[in-house]
Amino acid sequence: MCNIPLLDIHLEILRKYADYPACKKKGVLLPVPCNQKMNSYLKEIADLCLIKKNLTTHTARHSYATSVCLANGVSIKNVAKMLGHSNIKMTQHYARVLDSSILKDMNNVRDVLSNCL
């Protein structure tokens, strides 16, 4: 379990489905299909958008970890917790190191060192 503060867009989506009959019937916040059905929808979306990559829920986890979290400065420990991983090693498979994060880190080092001189 992990408490993650929701952004405005997340709250907006939850409000949209608050009175959705399927959600009320199942007692859930969102109408989430099974992985197989979701992957089928993602394949349709990829086809319509002429995306050659095989989109899956697994790919979405990689994208979330890399593009959303790490690219915006979320620590790998927090990403691991949000993905439900028991250790960081598992998360490292999902989260590729971004050139932009290396640049940001090195700029921070430069700033710290220049302030010391």
Computed over its alpha carbons, how large is the radius of gyration of the chain? Answer: 19
Q: Which helix (H) or strand (E) holds 79?
A: helix 76-83
pLDDT tens for each residue of the chain, 117 residues long = 678 889 999 999 999 999 999 999 999 999 989 999 999 999 999 999 999 999 999 888 888 888 888 888 888 899 999 988 888 888 887 666 666 677 778 888 898 888 886
Residue 95's pLDDT is what? Answer: 67
Residue 70's pLDDT is what? Answer: 84
Residue 102's pLDDT is what? Answer: 74
Q: Is residue 2 part of a domain?
A: no
Q: How many CA atoms lie within 13 A of 17 on its CB side?
A: 16
Q: Is residue 7 part of a domain?
A: no
CA distance 26 to 42: 23
Residue 99's pLDDT is what? Answer: 66
Residue 29's pLDDT is what? Answer: 95
Q: Please tell me the total count of domains within the chain.
A: 1
Q: Is residue 12 part of a domain?
A: no
Per-state percent for the chain, helix, strand, coil, to nearest 5: 65, 0, 35
CA distance 61 to 82: 10
**Contact partners, residue 95, CB within 8 Å, separation at least 6:** 62, 65, 66, 69, 70, 76, 79
Q: Is residue 26 part of a domain?
A: no
Containing structural domain, residue 44: 34-116
Q: Is residue 17 part of a domain?
A: no
